[in-house]
Structure 1
């Protein structure tokens, strides 16, 4: 198969919040895109917007570039190497853009396995959330060979506002994403703790938000996630379960390196407590409900709460 850098056939595996937005952003740029998801409703949502979709990764065998936007390493394994996986079906010289948040050690191993199959890999975790995915404005933390970047160019141009080229070795992109996720998880947990303290002190939560977002204590996560709390809206844009997974990756990688990560470990415990209380599928800002249970604070409520046990 000849691989056309100008107009490659692109498969996007995983049509969840991030994958659906990315696939639509590629489609709107006029690229030849096929979405892939086991869930019929996800495929239908893509098709309604004019896209083509398939249920099984192996059906993407004709693609030049496959973008993997699934949740974790187990799903990466399944879509690439499982019974209906795509890796063995791809022509030599095809490219896998691996965007899931995985351990750097796994990314390195994956790169070597794909190379042995004469496939290129871009280790390319993403950041920015569902809205930026839909607008093609993600931040991509990528490492791979110059050939991999050349093959990926039309895809990266359509899905990202910023592409950080971090070197040629697999695992570098995933290492950078892990640093980002440590900060993101800690900032969300800290934002929840700060809001809980303010509410427990009797402060108006809207006033806390207004003051902090104009003060030195602000963070991007505080500014982005606290409105979910103020609106009582825990519909999952990024779920509690994601940070249980990602902060566990931080912990496991720290253990591999014999490096302690105590602040991340504390945040992990809060997300784990939120998952244990039944809030795992709610938005990650629902970690504040742990403090609600512990201190009896009253949180703002809304009719569109995503459900789950009430604290």
Structure 2
């Protein structure tokens, strides 16, 4: 199947490469020429813009950052919508508000296209291995077209209903937990370091104790190595936890713990770390306490 992938960041590139490995014809579009070149080197095809990525495709995957970018790559100049064939599926894998997803499904239906609400989780490594978790919702017709794609990129696909928007709601809850866990991991590691515990030993103990979490085990090594090469950036969680809080406000639902985590990511971004890996939220605590969690490996 010919598939367009719009957005070749750490997650989008992994998805595109998994599809190439599965034998699909993949056209990739990204604002960064180097990302497109990397896909071509792996057997994919270059698309100069979103419209070119969508040309002739039965399915287009959107892996961009936010709803403004979704709007731009679909309906902006050289947007994908004008090139999509009738009956094609837009697989929306960006983290966006559920209300936006629902409205987008209605807009796409007016032009004879289908929406599969399909946010993803698992990180860049699992994206490259085709082992993502997908929280999806959409019509039977959309799933019928998307099934080979879902099989190629995911280890687990949750089918949450036939209405787009449910998948985005579940992803919002996931991001609440993910952001809180990263901020809490940074706080815990900084506290232990300030109190005199060896950070690497602390990581080992907590990883094998009740206080551990997937995010603790995944992100604390970045802190210990002092390696903040962005896999998922601080700014992503400024955005995603902001989305969580917006959702809470719309439902008149208090989210004090998410709000506290959001403030820590905002503090990290305001301190100049917005483009670094989200584990760089630990630098807020390091600066306050005059410590460094990083410990070189022996």
| TM-score, length of structure 1 as denominator length | 0.93
DSSP 3-state at the match of 2:215: helix
Deviation at 1:38, TM superposition (A): 2.0
Q: Does 1:76 align with 2:55?
A: no
Structure 2 equivalent of residue 306 of structure 1 = none
Structure 1 equivalent of residue 98 of structure 2 = 104
Q: Are the equivalent residues in 2 in contact too, given 1:233–1:301 (CA < 8 A)?
A: no
Q: Does 1:141 align with 2:122?
A: no
1:182-210 Cα deviation digits (max 9, x unpaired) = 00000000000000000010110001101
Matched ranges for 1:110-149 at <5 A: 110-149=104-143
DSSP 3-state at the match of 1:11: strand
Q: Distance in 2 between matches of 1:55 and 1:263?
A: 43
Deviation at 1:136, TM superposition (A): 0.4
1:77-100 Cα deviation digits (max 9, x unpaired) = 010010110112212101100000
1:207-249 Cα deviation digits (max 9, x unpaired) = 1101101111001100110001111111011110100000000
Q: Distance in 2 between matches of 1:92 and 1:260?
A: 43
Q: Distance in 1 between matches of 2:47 and 2:82?
A: 17
DSSP 3-state at the match of 2:161: coil
Q: Are the equivalent residues in 1 in contact too, given 2:49–2:79 (CA < 8 A)?
A: yes
C-alpha RMSD of matched pairs (Å): 0.9
Q: Report how many residues are paired.
A: 295
Q: Distance in 2 between matches of 1:55 and 1:141?
A: 30
Q: Distance in 1 between matches of 2:201 and 2:20?
A: 42
Deviation at 1:292, TM superposition (A): 1.0
Of the candidates 13, 23, 28, which is equivalent to residue 35 of structure 1? 28
Q: Distance in 1 between matches of 2:238 and 2:264?
A: 9
Q: Are the equivalent residues in 2 in contact too, given 1:39–1:55 (CA < 8 A)?
A: no
Matched ranges for 1:67-216 at <5 A: 67-216=61-210
Q: Does 1:266 align with 2:231?
A: no
Structure 2 equivalent of residue 280 of structure 1 = 274
Q: Distance in 2 between matches of 1:301 and 1:14?
A: 35
Q: Distance in 2 between matches of 1:273 and 1:118?
A: 44
Moved more, 187-196 or 106-115: 106-115
Q: Distance in 2 between matches of 1:39 and 1:219?
A: 34
Q: Distance in 2 between matches of 1:301 and 1:12?
A: 39
Structure 2 equivalent of residue 9 of structure 1 = 2
Q: Distance in 1 between matches of 2:292 and 2:91?
A: 44
Structure 2 equivalent of residue 291 of structure 1 = 285
Q: Are the equivalent residues in 1 in contact too, given 2:137–2:163 (CA < 8 A)?
A: yes
Structure 2: gaps spanning 5 or more residues: none
Q: Distance in 1 between matches of 2:25 and 2:281?
A: 40
1:274-311 Cα deviation digits (max 9, x unpaired) = 00000001110000000011111123267xxxxxxxxx
Deviation at 1:127, TM superposition (A): 0.2
| TM-score, length of structure 2 as denominator length | 0.97
Q: Distance in 1 between matches of 2:25 and 2:43?
A: 11
1:41-86 Cα deviation digits (max 9, x unpaired) = 1111111112111120111221110011111111100100101101
Structure 2 equivalent of residue 5 of structure 1 = none
Q: Distance in 2 between matches of 1:301 and 1:212?
A: 17
Structure 1: gaps spanning 5 or more residues: 1-7, 303-311
Structure 1 equivalent of residue 51 of structure 2 = 58
